[in-house]
Structure 1
């Protein structure tokens, strides 16, 4: 009997067991270990366990106010994006809006440009010497409120991140059964009352999913506060200064600030998951909602609202494009009346390897993400066990870790032999893979749940091996979900700044870092030209995705 018991718990060694072990080792070594270094550094002071750094944070109003500012910006941005994104999605999916497909492409493009580019664009428009500021002042004598500080950051985040809510809510609206709305209408529940009583509760799980992404992005963003904050301190700004500063900086204190940030984002993430579970619904959308043609004032008001929001979201990119074609001095710092390609000429001279690095790093990172993500998704769905569940949970850790903290973790974990990776290409690739792999895993797992296991069982019963069945049967069926996650990962990788600003050296500089550097140096023409190159890359890949997938939307 004892022998039988030993046999029953013996591990079945096959390709999936080996894949599980390799993936576990990868995430343990390259994600868990570096993050543990942050926690260790935050509580170890001169070799002694201590909460000295946390007490330092709590004792000084200067530091506590940075946390308060970060939370205020994050919650305010989440609130405004939820309202804008939800209303916009509801209008475009219940009413026929002229040019809807084109508008949705613009909405996606709005989401993909780095937030700090939006910040710098609004400075050009509404800064102290901005185009709109000067125009209003010269024509009416009115001095517009400052774009700097809290209001500027809220404007940037709201117009940059509302597409996240829009995409989530759009997906949920497509799953609402039309017969449910007809039933509520028969009971006299129509108009705004039906929206709040019937539709909004059905949308809430997806709204919360989008809200947690908005909260984490606005909470963790580094570039926007740096450019437009002007004294409005936030936690990422403090962490960056404490870790990088050669005068007065403290790695241990930076680690403690990072731990506080992680705890807050973790609490918000777990709260969202708990509420979503409580409010989850299962719907059969064989009769999905249809957009209805309206007329009169209601139709005009809907079109005006949609067009204004989409235009304001696109305005920073339009400003950047316009700026790129203005004449500049040979340094790229001063603008001269007229238009030329001078900024692009200067930009290409300054590019160096950063353009090649951007494409090579992002493509290699996406290939790694697809390879690892597909296996993790398959293991989590088809080979469910305690170990694969642990692996799936580990991959989601990076979902809640701010980019700057991930960058610090990698620097602390791999700055000495035998794992001396600081300054290498591999550490940049690690940052990309760890931060963006949840997109591919989630999209791959979602489509895999819709593939019935009997398909694989039939192939195996006909003599195909497990790996052959996976490669020739399952993987082609997973392709749409894998491609969607890979494209989304790629487009967010090329706009990554928070982690890579800490990890890069001259030979690993990317396009986003080059843009940020030029903005900080006030070389706005050169920065604008580089931003246009980045935007064109994003749009090209987006259109290629639509062509390959024969679809007109990205699902998240």
Structure 2
């Protein structure tokens, strides 16, 4: 009976479950254990948690994270929703280019946006100097809460825009026309008809923004100054605790895990209340507008699009400016920065980024295909659990995952700390959900009759899977894999904790150059990362045959 029950798919399920248990569940449990267990005294203790809540500095930091995240998410919706609606209803000149530019602004890492805005609105920024010189002011830059919210909002609203643009295709135009015939104004039609219909999409995209913003490390670290958030606190506490008592760092991480999971579950409960599907017999159509409405619509779209892409333009532009000591721009164009990073320095950080990323993507694609097929075609209690566990990295912040992996693999027999393998594992775990979700969606659309037909013609189940199912899955798999790849390129939260001198990546290099004040080098590294992301996006369009993204 055991031999009969131990099929190939059961073995694959157990192997993947073992992988998740070792590299996700075990490290997280270890963090929770270290937060409440005193190894020296050999007893349970809640002293670290008491210390966190006794000190105002610590629990205010938690509140800072929640406040930044809520405000940024709300502003992202306020910007993304009207923008998506205008591009869907009003014929905007160059709308295809506008959509691509908005997507490009999303795929760059948030910390590059923070660095670019420092160049513009920092204490010595171009715009800051202009404001102070022109209006005789003493504007001190956008550091702190306002700066963090600005960067994260501009980085996040494109995700809201992408999701809502897709949802608006399923809104039936007859509903809007009916509301118009009843005397509803344009704003009333949006608030009473459109928004209720796309509420599930707003909630889903808001959750993605919320989880991304609350876990962001680079932006508050670069632009926050005295305004600290939990990811920054975890990093600073952990780095100071290495070699000493790691319990407090683990306690902060445990609190953050509990908060993020709780917020995730609350959103899921709310989302279920608005869960329904739409099918548009008459999809919304873009109409040419005239007069003031046309001018305002074009103005809003163009201004928002320009501001969203401005950070990428800034880093590319400044990468070609000559610097003195790496900090002061002379205003002359030069290839000095590229000569420095490409010919006068070790190229390992650039090569590491591509090498580690490609290895991680190969693993992600294999795991994503197998999990998607198992959870859709071989549904049972174990595969359902597998599906749930695979989404844990989406909820667990990168800094927490980095600390968890250090705790788990800093001693024999699994000593991986500082190695390339632990970075690759972090990339796989962190970015796997993108590929799994897109792969699962495509498997659900493949009719089981296709497999049944192949089997009835004499093909084995394994041959059917590789010759029929996998080729049909590839569009969805590749779409998710490219999104995973783009996010791996800019992965900083886990990398900053796990990297060593031999495994430094582009994201870490950009961060360290900014911290050291080498802005010219940081711009050149950022430009390479941005161009790589754009080329990856173009590859996505080429492989999928689309000119837009449906995440």
Q: Report whether the alignment pairs 1:112 with 2:107.
A: yes
Alpha-carbon shift at residue 320 of structure 1 (Å): 1.1
Contact 2:71 2:149 in 1 (8 A): yes
Contact 2:220 2:229 in 1 (8 A): yes
Q: Which segments of 5 or more consecutive residues in structure 2 lack a partner in the other structure? A: none
Equivalent residue for 1:81? 76
Find the residue that maps to 1:231 and give its secondary structure.
coil
Q: Report whether the alignment pairs 1:237 with 2:232.
A: yes
For 2:493 and 2:160, how far apart are their aligned partners in 1? Answer: 22
Equivalent residue for 1:128? 123
Q: Which segments of 5 or more consecutive residues in structure 1 lack a partner in the other structure? A: 1-6
Alpha-carbon shift at residue 85 of structure 1 (Å): 0.9
* 1:473-492 superposed matches below 5 A: 473-492=468-487
Q: Report whether the alignment pairs 1:432 with 2:427.
A: yes
RMSD value over aligned CA atoms? 1.7
Contact 1:243 1:249 in 2 (8 A): no
Alpha-carbon shift at residue 419 of structure 1 (Å): 1.0
Contact 2:341 2:347 in 1 (8 A): no
How many residues are matched?
548
Alpha-carbon shift at residue 467 of structure 1 (Å): 1.6
Q: Report Cα offsets for 1:79-112 as digits up to 9, x if no partner.
A: 1001111111111112111111111111111112
Decide whether aligned partners of structure 1 residues 188 and 378 sit closer, same or farther in structure 2, where only a CA change above 3 A counts.
Answer: farther
Contact 2:475 2:543 in 1 (8 A): no
TM-score normalised by structure 2 residue count: 0.96
Alpha-carbon shift at residue 554 of structure 1 (Å): 2.1
Equivalent residue for 1:164? 159
Equivalent residue for 1:58? 53
Contact 1:326 1:340 in 2 (8 A): yes
Decide whether aligned partners of structure 1 residues 186 and 261 sit closer, same or farther in structure 2, where only a CA change above 3 A counts.
Answer: same
Equivalent residue for 1:3? none
Find the residue that maps to 1:292 and give its secondary structure.
coil
Q: Report whether the alignment pairs 1:37 with 2:30.
A: yes
Decide whether aligned partners of structure 1 residues 290 and 250 sit closer, same or farther in structure 2, where only a CA change above 3 A counts.
Answer: farther
Could you tell me which of 337, 341, 364 is aligned with 1:343?
337
Q: Report Cα offsets for 1:187-242 as digits up to 9, x if no partner.
A: 54452222112211121111111111211222111111111111112111111111
Equivalent residue for 1:4? none
Q: Which moved more, 1:331-340 or 1:432-441?
A: 331-340
Q: Report whether the alignment pairs 1:28 with 2:14.
A: no
For 2:478 and 2:162, how far apart are their aligned partners in 1? Answer: 17
Alpha-carbon shift at residue 532 of structure 1 (Å): 0.6
TM-score normalised by structure 1 residue count: 0.95
* 1:523-538 superposed matches below 5 A: 523-538=518-533
For 2:484 and 2:220, how far apart are their aligned partners in 1? Answer: 24
Contact 2:172 2:284 in 1 (8 A): yes
Find the residue that maps to 2:490 and give its secondary structure.
coil
For 1:477 and 1:457, how far apart are their aligned partners in 2? Answer: 15
Alpha-carbon shift at residue 285 of structure 1 (Å): 3.1
Contact 2:128 2:141 in 1 (8 A): no
Contact 2:241 2:249 in 1 (8 A): no
Alpha-carbon shift at residue 442 of structure 1 (Å): 0.6
* 1:192-231 superposed matches below 5 A: 192-231=187-226
